[in-house]
Structure 1
Amino acid sequence: MELRKLVRGQVEWPRLESIVRELAQRYGCEEVHVRFLEADNWLSTPMVLDDKYFVKVVTEQNSFVHALFTTTRNLGAFSSGTEGFFGHFGDPYEMAQHELEATNRLREIGLNAPEPVEALEIDGLGVLVMEFIPEFVTLDQMSEADERERAPDMFEALHAMHDNGLAHGDLRAENVLVVDGEIYFIDATSIRADENSPDASMASAQSYDLACALAALEPLIGAREAVGAAASAYTTDELLAAREFLDFVSIRPDHTFEAAELKGELEKRAEQAERDDG
């Protein structure tokens, strides 16, 4: 059995059937069509109901794996010289409820995200129901020319998120959708503000977001273009703060990029800004 299937685990068919039956009853579906998705998602089983609802089923094992990921990421944050800012939830329903709330917050500040429907607990499983968006491409599925064109839009949207005191926490190219030419964010994760210094921990989480965004774009459009796009929305000081998290991001298995090249471009940008100010 491949590692991803082992880690994700499998939901027994009778439990999936009970979820589909309950959702069909709740939403008045007479003949239910279910399509399972082969998404790169270790923390749920995704499926589409009647081409209208996107459903994530979160198991006890998914919750356990999320706890392991959270611990590992917080250790990485410590290695970058900051307190850990990733949070974990105690059970599958809490995980589903958090993503529902996080997505609502993104929409409340005017960012694009799928419309949340509800979060439920069914047979001990967390069930998140959201709008299904049928026509989209992820950022890494576009042509290089389109990726270059959309990169500033992504950083502008990310900056709007940060400017409103939020952070994504799991920004990857797969979590940035382009729908009718507009940027959509999905799969926002849990950020835990330090009670003793909430502003500092949120600032670190936002710097980590920016580092992840740069890491996602570097393989697609190159370090210079990625930094240039980021500089259209972020200050030099903000870019340098993100630089401190690049080594942390580089140890994640879902980010493959040239950290040294990004650091070099960020340093050039800082040197140029210093000359301009002088």
Structure 2
Amino acid sequence: MDIRQLARGSVEWERIERVIRTLAARHDREAVRVEFLDADNWLSTPCVIDDEWFIKIVSRQNALVHAVLTTGRNVGAFTSRTEGFFGRFDTPREMVEHEYEATQRMREIGVNAPRPIEAFEVNGLGVLVLEYLPEFESFEDVPAFVVENRSRELFEMLKTLHDHGLAHGDLRAENVLIYDDELYFIDATNVHENRVTETSAYDLACALAMLEPRIGARAAVDAAVAVYDPSALLRARRFLDFVRLRPDHEFDSTTLRSEVEKAADLGRG
């Protein structure tokens, strides 16, 4: 069994069936068609309803896994000489309500994200309902030239979040989608709202780390400095070692740090 599947666990069919019946009843539908997704996901059981809604079903075990990951990230933050700034959830309902609210807030400030429909609880399971985006591609899947062409746009979206006191907290290639020729953010995580300086710098470090293997350190930094000032890049540099600890980010931190420092020196000059 894949370790992600083991950690995620499985939700009994009877409980899933109750979720689907409840969702259909809430939207006055006698029946719905369900497609379960073979997603590489620790934190939910995902499915699509009637090619219209993307559903995340979150169990108590999912919430426990999230708490363990959050603890690890907060410990890792000490490598950047700062206290942890990731927030945990105590229940599946808290997890889905947070993602609903985070997605709504992104859309309110003009950042593309799937439209949130509702978040509720059924028999101890958290249920998040989002707009389904068919035929999207992630930054992980598109060719490098597409990533390079859209990289400045990525930083512009990120800065819009930061200018409004928000942060993504889990920026990875699979969480940046291209749909209908527009960029979308998905799967924002819980970070402390009173730590904007650190969370913004961490987001920026994650974006640079995500881009470096695809388009090179210089191109990634060039795209960032077109949007962010040198001081922001230097704050992000602090978090590169922390980001490198994550198994979902593999990048040349030495070269990236060097390009950040050169760009900051030029900006100050």
> TM-score under structure 2 normalisation?
0.97
Cross-structure match for 1:161: 161
Does 2:210 align with 1:202? no
In structure 2, the residue matched to 1:74 is 74
Match of 1:256 in 2: 250
Residue 30 of structure 1: how far off its partner (Å): 3.2
Q: Give the Å deviation of 1:267.
A: 1.4
The reply to whether residue 272 of structure 1 matches residue 266 of structure 2 is: yes
> 1:33, 1:49 within 8 Å by CA — same for their partners in 2?
yes
The more displaced of 107-116 and 37-46 is: 37-46
Does the aligned pair in 1 maintain the 2:79–2:241 contact within 8 Å? no
Provide the C-alpha distance between the structure 2 equivalents of 1:113 and 1:203, rounded to a whole number of angstroms.
Answer: 23
Which residue of structure 1 lines up, in the alignment, with residue 178 of structure 2? 178
Cross-structure match for 2:40: 40
3-state DSSP of counterpart to 1:140: coil
After superposition, the CA RMSD in angstroms is 1.1
Please state how far the C-alpha of 1:28 moved relative to its aligned partner.
2.7
1:255 alignment partner, SS class: coil
In structure 2, how many angstroms separate the alpha carbons of the residues matched to 1:18 and 1:209? 38
CA distance in 1, matches of 2:170, 2:140: 15
Match for residue 222 of structure 2?
228
Counterpart of 1:220, as a letter, is R
Task: Read off the aligned partner of 2:46 and give its amino acid letter.
Answer: P
Q: Which residue of 1 aligns with 2:27?
A: 27
Residues 85, 202 of structure 1: 8 Å contact kept: no
Give secondary structure in 1 for the equivalent of 2:85: coil
Listed as ranges, the matches of 1:207-218 within 5 Å are: 207-218=201-212
Distance in 2, Cα, partners of 1:3 & 1:219: 25
Q: What per-residue deviation string (whole Å, max 9, x for no partner) do you get for residues 171-210 of structure 1? A: 00100111222111100110124xxxx3xx2110110000
Secondary structure of the 1:269 match is helix
Between 177-186 and 115-124, report the one with greater CA deviation.
177-186
Report the Cα distance in structure 2 between the residues aligned to 1:137 and 1:255, rounded to whole angstroms. Answer: 19
Structure 1 Cα separation of the partners of residues 87 and 23 of structure 2: 29
Aligned-partner Cα distance in 2 for 1:222–1:35? 38
Shift of 1:37: 1.2
Do structure 1's residue 124 and structure 2's residue 118 form an aligned pair?
no
The one-character-per-residue Cα deviations of 1:96-148 (angstroms, maximum 9, x if unpaired) are: 00000011110111111101011110010000001111131111211111111
Measured in 1, the distance between the counterparts of 2:143 and 2:28 equals 40
**Partner SS for 1:218:** helix
Question: CA separation in 2, counterparts of 1:85 and 1:94?
Answer: 18
1:53–1:131: 8 Å Cα contact kept in structure 2?
yes
Q: Secondary structure at the match of 2:127?
A: strand
Where does residue 86 of structure 1 map in the other structure? Answer: 86
* 1:103-118 matched pairs, under 5 angstroms: 103-118=103-118
Unmatched segments (≥5 aa) in structure 1: none
The sequence identity of aligned pairs, in percent, is 55
1:79, distance to aligned residue in structure 2 (A): 2.1
Q: Is the 8 A contact 1:74 1:84 kept in 2?
A: yes
The residue number in structure 2 matching 1:247 is 241
CA–CA distance in structure 1, aligned partners of residues 176 and 139 of structure 2: 6
What residue in structure 1 maps to residue 55 of structure 2? 55
Tell me, yes or no, if structure 1 residue 143 matches structure 2 residue 139: no
Which of 30-39 and 230-239 deviates more?
30-39
* 1:56 to partner: Cα distance: 0.2
